[in-house]
Chains A and B, each alone.
Chain A
Amino acid sequence: MKYAELLRENAVLAETAGTPLSLAVLANITIAPIKEVLEFAFRSRGLNARVTIGRYDNVAQDSQRLADYDAVFVFFELAGLSDRLPFETHVLDSESIGKLIDKAKGELAFTFEALSHTGVVVFNLLCSLPFTLRSPRATALDYICQEVNAFVRANAPKSFKLIELEKIFAGCPVREAIDLRMFLAFRSLYSIAFLRAYAELVYPLVAVTAGRYKKALVLDCDGTLWKGVVGEDGVDGIVHFREVQSFIVQLAEAGVLVCLCSKNEVADVERALADPRAVLREEHLVMKVVNWRDKAANLREIASTLNLGLESFVFVDDSDFEIECVRCSLPAVSVFKASADYTEYLWSWQTIASLFYRESDTAEDRVRAQQYKVALVRRQQHARFADLDAYLRALDLSLRLSLNTVSAAPRLAQLTQKTNQFNLTTNRMSESQMISAMQSPDWLVVGVEVSDRFGSYGIVGLIMARQAGSDASIENFLLSCRVIGRNVELKAFDFAVDRLRARGVTRIVATYRATPRNGQVSDLYERLGFGLVREEGASKHYQMDIDAYRPSSIDYIRVEHA
């Protein structure tokens, strides 16, 4: 796509719905053209964003001014450290280089402090590569970068995302990435090609905090997991794509829900997975849908069984027909065609894997596949109990509630990022924001861990309230789709109300903010006894005197306080 076309499209996409994410770019060089490039990377994926460019060489000053943006990108460049850099290094003696490094550290320390509570900070490590490409030994520029980067690694807040620009230069060669004309005329360093590659690399870091990442991977078998047709060639006649299967196993172990969707006989697929030469095995899979129905229908069934939206799915198949079928009937699903050229296909797995990017793998992620399998058994049991209450009683449910527990922060932040259905406010938070809330005396953060006779679901719910005097407002109330329908939210809310009362709260206010996905909880606050105060666009505002609250009468859920 040509640059002018990108600019036009970007302007059109700005009109699309959704409150834009606020993104800021701070730089000690001229970086203005990144604005539209970065906006386009988000908008073209249906996520509106607005980019603000900080003032030229005002990184430290602007870090304070723009700290409450959703995400801040920092281009603290070697070439911006001094007017003499990167070319006139001969005039810098070791003393002035030392001063330059100290000055950079001072500015950075200030910037780190100012941005320590920002939702997402993407910080580019200094990189001398464009100017030392032909130098076989380390130069003064390399020395400066090493020193400053060591300081960054030691002192930047843990939540900062540090980016190695070498990853971009590897795909976009230096002579195409650096525009020296623009550097000489305007002190602008990077070409549009570089900026586009940069936007692609960093997009997932921000998108994940807006709940945009993939959770489930659905795979065809013949031509996708192995070469050959197992139904015709037999297990001995197929060749497993071991490298591809390794990618899949790593994703499964990181908590991605891996499913098969194949037109085959079940027994053939099972034999192929049991083959000692296979890397991917039965245990890595959550579901197998092996039949001769059309794949769009099968995908819909998988989505409903796993209780996930179709936008959480990635589908890989080697058949143009199946790819087109899914692309047309289920446009929300990301599809990848397995190339017949195996090396080409193997390269594409780096891209596929990047769609599942997550801030960190939590313990829950690692055992998720197992939990989903248990859930399927649970659902079969469910069918045996006609009366829901009797079923819930037989489940032997128990809750473990934690209060402001920092060790749970990564998981709780992740829940705010990925929960869409049972989510009253859809208030996404980063780990650092979650930790700040837990450490503040104004916040009550209740983590909800659920288990039943089949096993533990891990931490699957969250209630966050902010107290101001005798008022408290519920800022977050959510439950993972895996435990919906068990009334655990009622017990958890009882606990939150109890704690708020103990802290002197007399009135609770709450908001339901409608999204396309959370209709099922639109009347939750009414059911809890709140009174509707007013409706405002997609939001309903409620309040309740704490003395009017009636705790639930449920006696089949045990509650423990951690």
Chain B
Amino acid sequence: MRDRVKAVMAAVFGLRPSEIPDDLALGHSDCWDSVRHMSLVLALEDAFRVTFSVEEIVEMTTLPRILKTLDEKLAAA
């Protein structure tokens, strides 16, 4: 799961998956800003066939929180 999420992040941020640390967070690097966050959310929805709520979108601003949100969603599905 982590690798799949990193692959999506890499595509959105224009990086290699290996360049993404496990604790990456919005605002900690130039590539993940609020504008890219939107693209990231859309790309994750598309890749994992899920739909996030407004609250989830606003909350999922670190890689660990993205993984947690996705786990919950996919378990519920």
Which one of A2-10, A315-323, A401-409 is at the interface?
A2-10
Q: Nearest Cβ distance between residue B11 and chain A, in whole angstroms? A: 4
Distance of A472 Cα from B11 Cα, bound (Å): 49
| In the assembled complex, B67 has its CB within 8 A of some CB on chain A | no
A527 at the interface (CB under 8 A from B): no
CB pair B53–A7 under 8 Å, yes or no, is no
Q: Which residues of B contact A186 (CB under 8 A)?
A: 34, 38
Q: Is the CB of A185 within 8 A of B58?
A: yes
Number of interface residues, chain A, beta carbon within 8 A: 19
Is A188 among interface residues, defined by CB-CB distance under 8 A? yes
Cα distance A5–B12 in the bound complex, in angstroms = 9
A184 near B11: Cβ-Cβ < 8 Å: no
Q: Is A453 an interface residue (CB 8 A)?
A: no
Is A8 in contact with B42, judged by CB distance below 8 angstroms?
no
**Which residues of B have CB within 8 Å of A185?**
54, 57-58
User: For the complex, what is the distance from the CA of A448 to the CA of B47, rounded to whole Å?
Assistant: 56
Complex Cα distance, B42 from A32, in Å, reads 12
Q: Are A33 and B54 in contact (CB under 8 A)?
A: no
CB neighbours (8 Å) of B39 from chain A are 3, 7, 32-33, 36
Q: Determine whether the beta carbon of B54 is less than 8 Å from that of A11.
A: no
Q: Evaluate whether A4 and B46 lie within 8 angstroms (CB atoms) in the complex, with A181-B54, A185-B54 already known.
A: yes
Q: Is A332 an interface residue (CB 8 A)?
A: no
Q: Report how far A53 CA is from B12 CA in the complex, Å.
A: 17
Instruction: Judge whether A150 is part of the interface by a CB distance below 8 angstroms.
Output: no
Query: Closest CB-CB distance, A172 to chain B, in whole Å?
Result: 15
A11, A33, A36, A192 interface centre (most CB from chain B within 10 Å): A33
Known A181-B52, A184-B54, A185-B54; judge A8-B11 contact (CB<8 A): yes
Q: Are A4 and B11 in contact (CB under 8 A)?
A: yes
Interface 1/0 per residue, B34-45 and A, CB below 8 Å: 111011011100
Q: Does A30 contact B (CB under 8 A)?
A: yes
Q: Is A297 an interface residue, CB under 8 A from the partner?
A: no
Q: Does A182 contact B (CB under 8 A)?
A: yes
Query: With the chains together, A451 CA to B7 CA distance in Å?
Result: 62
- Is the pair B53, A181 in contact by a Cβ cutoff of 8 Å? yes
Closest CB-CB distance, B16 to chain A, in whole Å?
A: 11
Q: In this complex, which of A11, A182, A184, A186 has the most chain B Cβ atoms within 10 angstroms of its Cβ?
A: A186
Kindly identify which residue among A2, A11, A184 contacts B14, using a CB–CB cutoff of 8 Å: A11
- Is B8 engaged at the interface, CB distance under 8 Å to the other chain? yes
Q: How far is the CA of A36 from the CA of B52 in the complex (A)?
A: 22
Given contacts A185-B58, A188-B38, 20 further A-B contacts (CB under 8 A): A2-B46, A3-B39, A3-B42, A3-B43, A4-B12, A4-B43, A7-B11, A8-B11, A32-B36, A32-B39, A33-B38, A36-B39, A181-B52, A181-B54, A181-B57, A182-B38, A182-B41, A185-B54, A185-B57, A192-B46
- By a beta-carbon cutoff of 8 Å, the part of chain B in contact with chain A is 7-8, 11-12, 14, 34-36, 38-39, 41-43, 46-47, 52-54, 57-58
| Nearest 6 A/B pairs, CB to CB | A32-B35, A4-B43, A4-B11, A7-B11, A3-B46, A8-B11
